[in-house]
Amino acid sequence: MQNASTPSSRQTIGVSLVDGDSTIRHARQLMLRSEDYDVRSYATCAALLADPRSRDYPCIILDLEMEDVDGLALLREMRGSGWRGKAILLDGLDPGSAMLIEAERHGDTLFARNIGNRALLTEIASSIDHGWAGWNAED
């Protein structure tokens, strides 16, 4: 159900969700869909990269605690293939880490993996409001 503060135009906003934990991925996917986001979920970074439609989605939620994940390499490859969205990285990285510094340089954000639903929704809306509107206007 859509709440009064939720813009109806969000129904066309896509979010890519990458999480190796199927239980968490499914729960977040259901939550995002209940908020009218168009969600594509992936168990691996390779699956995200293999899906050409993932470049059309303005936001990637990426769990960095998966095996063999190099989140920055994934984002570099996505950006190199034309994606200009924002990423929400979920992990417990130390402030000042190289990954955090590079992520912030691109407007991406880092949160603890156990971020709550409201905080995650707020961050998605913020990342789309600041990063995607200009992209759509250019296309």
Asked whether residue 91 carries a pLDDT value surpassing 90, the answer given is no
What is the band of 87 on the pLDDT scale with cuts at 50, 70, 90? very high
Asked whether residue 139 carries a pLDDT value surpassing 60, the answer given is no
85 close to 132: Cβ distance less than 8 angstroms: yes
**CA distances (Å), 89 to each of 32, 65, 74, 137, in order?**
16, 10, 11, 26
According to DSSP, residue 91 is labeled S
What is the band of 2 on the pLDDT scale with cuts at 50, 70, 90? very low
Could you tell me which residues come within 8 angstroms of residue 90 by beta carbon, excluding any fewer than 6 positions away? Answer: 19, 61, 62, 63, 64, 65, 110, 111, 112, 113, 115
Q: Stretch 112-135: mean pLDDT, rounded?
A: 76
Q: In terms of DSSP bridges, do strands 86-90 and 59-63 run parallel, antiparallel, or are they unpaired?
A: parallel
Provide the pLDDT for residue 5: 42
Q: Stretch 36-64: mean pLDDT, rounded?
A: 93
